[in-house]
Amino acid sequence: MNTEVTVTEHILLHQKKSPHATGQFTGLLYDLILSGKSIAFRVTKAGLLDVLGGTGEINVQGENVQKLDDIANRIMLYRMERCGALCAMSSEEEPDLIRVRPEFPHGDYILIFDPLDGSSNIDVNVNVGTIFSILRRPEGGSGEVTLDEVLQPGWKQVAAGYVLYGPSTMLVLSTGQGVHGFTLDPGVGEFLLSHPDMTIPEQGYIYSVNEGNRQNWDDAAREAVEWFHTAPASNGKNYSARYVGSLVADFHRTLIYGGIYMYPPDRAKPNGKLRLMCEANPLAFLAEQAKGKASDGRMRILDKQPDKLHARTPLFIGSARDVEAVEAIYAKHGR
């Protein structure tokens, strides 16, 4: 670990390379990092603070709200509304666009986030994380932010990342200048540069998918997964199956080891399950910055135009060759 470089120092050192390098943008990242630290504290104390289990409520996605979902969401909303860099936010836990209230300073950026991805795994102490995407309000925008200004394709993201809460707390971040990982040192309370210039291997040896849904997949998805059962992997052996069921944890492993994470559409969710703007887009941005790929099987994730705030998508993400193998199978089956 490079113990001399904090995430704040790293951002400042690389500011001049980014067209989005402004004091406002740096302040936005600072408050995101502070939110991640605050959530990390609650997650590590989850078994001691009576925050395990559900609240009894159902969110906009039709899913049970976990206590830590609600806590993480409130931390993000409170901190980020006051950061002075945002004009609007969207949370996976909230049905509508959240506009920064008039009493707080406004900025030019839009934050899309999943406050606690994988929270259903908290009770069994499995890794979870906060995923975020940063967009810039289109030039010329004034007055109250409109939904059309927020519904931007993923290639317009100016930054994306996640905070992974596990055996150690990690921040993985890209501002369009590659992907860098920072590990939280609890002794000093700082994220320190630990994984500079992260890249996904061109081909991996792990495939990750919930095969319990296979009876509901279409023929292309079944054939794609079967391909990984029999194709030679990068290590010359068969691909190994690994599936945590926490998207941020499965993606983090894929980012480091390579391979592919797959969430195909099925009969119950023909448009896919994962949220395009708060899950697929930020992870696709990271994947491409790390020399990997992200696709819905038929097109690049970052080219998809969302038609609503909580639009969903299939997702195939990871090593370039592995994603291309899936795309070739989908192309064979036609549109």
Q: What is the rounded CA–CA span in Å between residue 55 and residue 223?
A: 40
CATH 3.40.50.720 corresponds to the domain 7-195 = no
Query: So what's the pLDDT on residue 139?
Result: 87
Phi/psi for 72 (5° steps) reads -65, -40
The residue extents of the domains of the chain are 7-195, 206-333
Please check if 117 is assigned to a binding site: yes
Please check if 120 is assigned to a binding site: yes
User: CA 285, 287, 292, 296 torsion: positive or negative?
Assistant: negative
Q: What is the rounded CA–CA span in Å between residue 116 and residue 305?
A: 24
Query: So what's the pLDDT on residue 124?
Result: 79
Please check if 23 is assigned to a binding site: no
Query: So what's the pLDDT on residue 335?
Result: 58
Query: So what's the pLDDT on residue 32?
Result: 96
Q: pLDDT by residue for the chain (335 residues), tens digit each? A: 455 899 988 888 876 666 555 678 989 999 999 999 999 988 877 655 555 544 555 555 555 556 788 889 999 999 999 999 999 999 999 999 999 999 999 999 999 999 999 877 777 778 899 999 999 999 877 789 999 999 999 999 999 999 999 889 999 999 999 999 999 998 889 999 999 999 999 999 999 999 999 999 999 999 999 999 999 999 999 999 999 999 999 999 999 999 999 999 998 899 999 999 999 999 999 999 999 999 999 999 999 999 999 999 999 999 999 999 999 999 999 85
Please check if 54 is assigned to a binding site: no
Query: So what's the pLDDT on residue 8?
Result: 87
Please check if 243 is assigned to a binding site: yes
Please check if 302 is assigned to a binding site: no
Give the model confidence (pLDDT) of 279-305 as tens digits: 999 999 999 999 999 999 999 999 999
Return the amino acid letter for 17: K
Give the model confidence (pLDDT) of 115-140 as tens digits: 999 877 777 778 899 999 999 999 87
Q: What is the rounded CA–CA span in Å between residue 310 and residue 217?
A: 22
Please check if 234 is assigned to a binding site: no
Query: So what's the pLDDT on residue 295?
Result: 98
Q: What is the rounded CA–CA span in Å between residue 191 and residue 32?
A: 12
Please check if 330 is assigned to a binding site: no
The listed CATH number (1.10.3720.10, 3.40.630.30, 3.40.190.80, 3.40.50.300) that belongs to domain 206-333:
3.40.190.80
Please check if 279 is assigned to a binding site: yes
Q: Work out whether strand 54-58 and strand 86-91 pair parallel, antiparallel, or are unpaired.
A: unpaired
